[in-house]
Amino acid sequence: MLKHLWQLIFCLILFHASLVRAQDLQGSKQRFVLHSNALEGNLIGDSPDREVSVYLPPSYTKDTTKSYPVLYLLHGYTDSDSKWFGFENHWINFPRLIDSVITAGSCQEMIVVMPNAYNTFKGSFYSSSLTIGDWETFVTEELVTYIDDHYRTLASRDSRGLAGHSMGGYGTIRLGMKFPDIYSSIYLLSPCCMSTNSFDNDGLRKNTQAVTQKEQIADQPFFVSAALALAAAWAPDPDKSPLFLDLPFDDGGSIDDIQNKFAANAILNMVDQYIYNLTRLENIGMDAGMQDYGIHDDTRHLHEILDESGVNHLYESYEGNHVNKIAERITRKMLPFFSENLKFN
């Protein structure tokens, strides 16, 4: 009887210890507003005060002598930092995901930062124009400087990573290849917008041209607002009030001069100019689901270009569409990738 009692007590001790450990391995999240000089004066009138969500790892508040690497994470089109960080119900909850892999021991502790890139056009594409503001400078300079100044970071490129999904994947390769002195490692999850869009759908053209006021954009379907967002990012026109953009088509068909501006921002068209910069990155990872039509083929094409150019990188193709395996890819691939490749001391 006494033996069974001691076995029960021992099991209760182990159970309590596991509960304590689970609590110890829960990080915390914060959200603040950062004023951006780079976004001031954008023609569409979006606020230069941008929300930023931050994940702090479990030991951050307990060990005040410890500093951490930082992963900058970029959300997709129509998404926001608030949705990804669980301040709203959404298809993904990033803090829960990273807590789970830290608890499982497959990821070291790191700070993760996500700026809110949702704007009048439902997404900035992390690009720079007179219409939407200088998002490249905001993300790569102002945000990084603020985080290093206000959090206990390992403030060097070797301890700084960049990743993103969809529009965020586009932003990751765009910023990663332009600013190799800021980040050492990048990871693209189902990156969009890497090839030139022909906009050959008559209905899409008609519906997009019908949007003539800023207030109409919020109610537009995905592809109409996306066409406007790309035009605002890549074909700004300060003389075209009130949207301040040029569409790459009209009733007569494509407009070559504007279509060329879109093509100039397609990653597969511009990557050759940045091969040297990509070789300076320590680690590059990318993946896309085989049922993510268009995006899968473009990601594989980028992989082939990097292979032919001798740029060391990781590429994987998997069964999945644009969103249904992203949580799994983050926990099984992306976070372990940065845990292995960023410097933690």
Model pTM score: 0.93
Residue 145 has pLDDT above 70, yes or no: yes
Structure confidence at residue 7 (pLDDT): 52
Statement to judge: residues 94 and 226 lie in one domain: no
The answer to whether residue 9 is domain-embedded is no
Mean pLDDT computed over 32-41: 98
CB 66 within 8 A of CB 59: yes
Which residues sit opposite 26 in a β-bridge?
none
Structure tokens at 217: 């954009």
Please list, in sequence order, all residues whose beta carbon lies within 8 angstroms of the beta carbon of residue 110, skipping any fewer than 6 positions away: 57, 68, 69, 70, 71, 338, 339, 342, 344
Domain boundary among the residues 210, 237, 261 is at 261
Residue 18 has pLDDT above 60, yes or no: no
Query: What's the number of domains the chain is made of?
Result: 2
Please list, in sequence order, all residues whose beta carbon lies within 8 angstroms of the beta carbon of residue 79, skipping any fewer than 6 positions away: 90, 118, 123, 166, 167
Nearest to 245 by CA among 257, 237, 233: 237
pLDDT 10s digits, 58-80: 999 999 999 999 999 999 999 99
Query: What's the mean pLDDT when you consider all of the chain?
Result: 94
Domain boundary among the residues 217, 238, 261 is at 261
Statement to judge: residues 55 and 126 lie in one domain: yes
Residue 49 has pLDDT above 60, yes or no: yes
Statement to judge: residues 64 and 161 lie in one domain: yes
Statement to judge: residues 145 and 289 lie in one domain: yes
Question: What is the four-CA torsion angle of 91, 191, 293, 273, rounded to 10 degrees?
Answer: 170
pLDDT grade for 200, boundaries at 50, 70 and 90: confident
Residue 236 has pLDDT above 50, yes or no: yes
CB 81 within 8 A of CB 53: yes
Structural domain of 289: 26-195+274-341
Statement to judge: residues 132 and 191 lie in one domain: yes
Structure confidence at residue 252 (pLDDT): 84
Question: How far, in Å, CA of 143 to CA of 310, rounded?
Answer: 32
